[in-house]
Amino acid sequence: MTNKSDKQNDRDQYFKERAGTDDARFHVVPHDEDNWAVKIEGKEEPAYTSGSKSEAVKEAKQMAEEAKTMVYIHGDDGKIERQHNYMES
């Protein structure tokens, strides 16, 4: 059975391998107290921050469309609520 730290390590490795590649995806996540951030997989610092979730989502969609990748929208609890795919088929 896999414990939580193994899952966390697997997830961290997954993001590390994608960081700086065309496969890196954007995530809209809660940031600080009442702010939202757009983060790129594998990077600690946000690419964009806003006091408004809708503004962060708008920016993330634009960034993902330009990068031809995906954006994941997280809720206040950190769980993924929606995703948008801008990858070329």
Inform me whether the pLDDT recorded for 2 exceeds 50: no
Higher pLDDT, 32 or 6: 32
Residue-level pLDDT at 42: 82
- pLDDT tens column, 53-64: 999 999 999 999
- Please state, in angstroms and rounded to a whole number, the distance separating the CA atoms of residues 30 and 74: 8
Q: How far does Cα 6 stand from its chain's mean position? A: 21
- pLDDT tens column, 26-43: 999 999 989 999 999 888
Beta carbons within 10 angstroms of residue 19's beta carbon: 13
Residue-level pLDDT at 47: 95
pTM: predicted TM-score of the whole model, two decimal places: 0.74
